[in-house]
Chains A and B, each alone.
Chain A
Amino acid sequence: DAGVIQSPRHEVTEMGQEVTLRCKPISGHDYLFWYRQTMMRGLELLIYFNNNVPIDDSGMPEDRFSAKMPNASFSTLKIQPSEPRDSAVYFCASSWEQGGRTQYFGPGTRLLVL
C-alpha cells in the first residue's frame, strides 16, 4: 500500500486566504485523524472521523477551521481565513478497528501563512 497520502506537501499563502489540505487514508482504514504540530504546542489532535463521520472535533481551534470526509478515501481540512498563527505542519493519520489502535501517519503538509 502507498501509505497515507497528503497534499500539498508545502503551502505558502497570505493572511486571509483560504487554505485546503487534502488526505487520502490507507485503503480499508476506518478511522482518520488530523493533527497539527508546532514547536510551541507540540502535536495536537484537531479532529477524527470514524466511517466518514466526525466523532470528536474538540481540538479544532476555532470556526475558521473545518474538516470533511465525503468518502472513505478522501478528507479535507480547510482554514478560512488563514492567519499567521496557523503556520504549522499538519498531519493526517489513519487506523483500522482491528489494528490495535496503531495510527499510520502521512508525511505532513508544511503550511506557512505570511
Chain B
Amino acid sequence: GNSVTQMEGPVTLSEEAFLTINCTYTATGYPSLFWYVQYPGEGLQLLLKATKADDKGSNKGFEATYRKETTSFHLEKGSVQVSDSAVYFCALSGTQGGSEKLVFGKGTKLTVNP
C-alpha cells in the first residue's frame, strides 16, 4: 500500500540556518503530495502541495519539488526563523479507491533557536 517515510527528528537549528526535511514515498499511480505543519497546541495546517511530477510547491519561504524518479518530496527553507518551530508532516493522497484519504508520515519536530 501507499506509505510515506520522513526523516526522524527532532531537528534543532539556529535562526537563519538552512532547513531540509527529507520525505520519500511509495505509491501506485500518481498521488498528490503535501506538507502540513502543526504548531504547538493546534491542528495541522496545509503548508504546500504538489499534484504532479516536477511541480514545485511553495509557501512562506518553504519549497518542495515532486520528484517522481526518486519518489521524494523534500521540504526546504533557506533561512529559518524561531517562528518556524513546529512539527512538519509529509503526506500523500490515495491513488485508487479511497483517494480522498491522506497517508501521513510520522512527523518531524523542528526547533529553531535564536
State whether A100 touches B101 (Cβ < 8 A): no
Q: Using Cβ atoms and an 8 Å threshold, which residues of chain A touch B29?
A: none
State whether A101 touches B43 (Cβ < 8 A): no
Shortest B114–chain A CB gap in Å is: 27
Contact of A43 among B34, B45, B51, B107 (CB under 8 A): B107
Q: How large is the interface on B (under 10, 10 to 19, 20 to 34, 35 or more residues)?
A: 20 to 34
State whether B100 touches A48 (Cβ < 8 A): yes
Q: Using Cβ atoms and an 8 Å threshold, which residues of chain A touch B43?
A: 4, 91, 93, 105-108
State whether B34 touches A102 (Cβ < 8 A): yes
A56 vs B34: C-alpha distance when bound (angstroms)? 21
Beta-carbon nearest neighbor of A103 in chain B: B102
State whether A48 touches B107 (Cβ < 8 A): no
For residue A55, CB closer than 8 A to chain B, the reply is yes
Known: A91-B44, A102-B49, A105-B45. A43 touches B100 (CB 8 A): no
Q: Using Cβ atoms and an 8 Å threshold, which residues of chain B touch A4?
A: 43
Q: Using Cβ atoms and an 8 Å threshold, which residues of chain A touch B89?
A: 43
Shortest B10–chain A CB gap in Å is: 13
List 5 A-B pairs, minimum CB-CB distance, nearest first: A105-B43, A101-B93, A105-B44, A42-B106, A43-B104
